Amino acid sequence: MNTLKKGDAAPAFSALDQDGNKHTLVDYAGKKLVVFFYPKANTPGCTAEACDLRDHYAEFTAQNYALLGVSADSAKAQGKFRDKYSFPFPLLADEDKAVIEAFGVWGPKKFMGREFDGIHRTTFIIDEQGIIEEVISEVKTKAHAAQILI
């Protein structure tokens, strides 16, 4: 599971969003970057989390933050999720799990008594130089923006 911690350099990722646009860590140099990993688009917890971030988007941009959502959903699923809830930030379609594994958020989970491998809901706050400022693994889906905007 996740071995990345505060003070580590963020992985140099590269992935496509819901519209086929490429995003890399270097693209966000000079900005604070919130990379939030969520298990599946259009599920209740993921929707609550992403909508809370959307509702505070102006505060994020005012503080020089960019946001990127990441799951293993297809670009089509991410596009539908974005369009349904009018998210102003890109959603990366990490179907091959390259970004998910680079950040170490893939691993065993338990849900309703069964165990399986999946994405652990985790958020990384990366500073303007690409260094991890914070790792939030206890995400409050309905109040996630408040966990970031301190």
Q: Point out the catalytic residue in the list 46, 68, 139, 148.
A: 46
5: its two tokens = 């911690």
Tell me if 72 sits within 8 A of 118, measured CB to CB: no
Q: Which residues, other chains included, contact 85 with Cβ-Cβ below 8 Å and sequence gap of 6+? A: 47, 50, 51, 54
Is 51 tagged catalytic? no
Q: Is the dihedral of CA 114, 118, 123, 125 positive or negative?
A: positive
Please report the DSSP string for 31-88 in residue order. SEEEEEE-S-TTSHHHHHHHHHHHHTHHHHHHTTEEEEEEES--HHHHHHHHHHHT-S
Q: Active-site positions?
A: 46
